[in-house]
Copies of this chain bind each other. A is one copy, B any other.
Amino acid sequence: MKNPVDIAVTGAAGQISYALLFRLAAGEFLGEDQPINLYLLEIPSAMSALNGVVMELNDCAYPLLNRVITTDDPNVAFHNVDYAFLVGARPRGAGMERKDLLECNAEIFSVQGKALNEVANKNVKVLVTGNPANTNALIALNNAPNLKSKNFTAMTMLDHNRTINQLAEKSGVKATDIKNVIIWGNHSNTQYPDIHHAKIKGQNALDLVDNDWFIDELIPAIQQRGATVIKARGQSSAASAATAAIKQMRLWALGTPDGDWVSMALLSDGSYGIEKGLIYSFPVTVSQGEISIVQGLDINALSLEKMKITEKELHEEKEAIKHLL
């Protein structure tokens, strides 16, 4: 049996983590021959609920689950960890302005960034799921000067999966027949799901589906999908977010398949004219744990405009919390 890998999960008593932890323990992330230790972080008021989750994890008698550590101290939670799923975030409360939301999350993620900087494995892969995910990731990485910026990504895999699904449904094919969709920008309702480069069974997607459908239906449907799910289910997406988190981290660890790419939000290096220093979602490939932004894609005027809208939002988010960077 391999040595266990150390995985931290924050907001560990929350709904996304409840959907995530049991699947990590079952081997869905790194396979059925890879034991894991789970480091679970929560705020003090959620420790009882977290203990209940740990009881249930233990009650599964998982062969791969080597050890579970619970703590309210990020310096314990991130000690030597190889992977960190930053799931926990402060949700928007009643009467809270967007700026307040950004600020109180900025505080959480600056503390966690500092702790990661101090105690995590230097090759730690940090995936931020807690919203506003892109800017939270930016704060964490700015507080971790000893880590590389490429240790941090924010999650747009859920949006990527949603786009694949809707394109597959529209064109009557399977999800596996769809390749090369892109999510540009922020994991928010300004994101730009782009199918100009997408393939359906090897054919150009926009030769097979109507451009008006793409513009008038697909884009807003993906941008507003989270709200649509809440309306139907009465609760926000949890299991599908957990699925996407596992997939993003798995592809980051094990590599993307040949001939396809995925979308991840990471520190912009200026590719496609996007402002450096924002955490922006790009099409990426991964080989041996190293993420590369796909280069050289043709971007038409429509795409450029939409890429700039979501860039502008991220710029404004950064401005709102820049005193904390």
Contacts and interface: CB of A to CB of B under 8 A. Distances in A.
A52 B162 contact: no
B52 A243 contact: no
Contact of A61 (B164, B237, B242): B164
Interface stretch (A21-29, A101-109, A134-142, A196-204): A21-29
A59 B225 contact: yes
B165 A61 contact: yes
Interface size class of A (residues with CB under 8 A): 35 or more
B22 A56 contact: no
A63 interface: yes
Contact of A19 (B19, B57, B58, B162): B19
Contacts of A149: none
A184 to B, nearest CB: 19
A158 to B, nearest CB: 7
B165 A63 contact: no
Given A48-B232, A53-B239, A56-B240, 11 more contacts: A22-B243, A23-B23, A48-B234, A52-B233, A53-B233, A56-B229, A56-B233, A59-B240, A60-B239, A62-B243, A63-B176
25 contacts: A18-B19, A18-B238, A18-B239, A19-B19, A19-B239, A22-B23, A22-B242, A23-B23, A23-B26, A23-B28, A26-B28, A49-B232, A49-B233, A52-B229, A52-B232, A52-B235, A53-B233, A55-B232, A55-B233, A56-B238, A59-B237, A60-B239, A60-B240, A61-B168, A61-B175
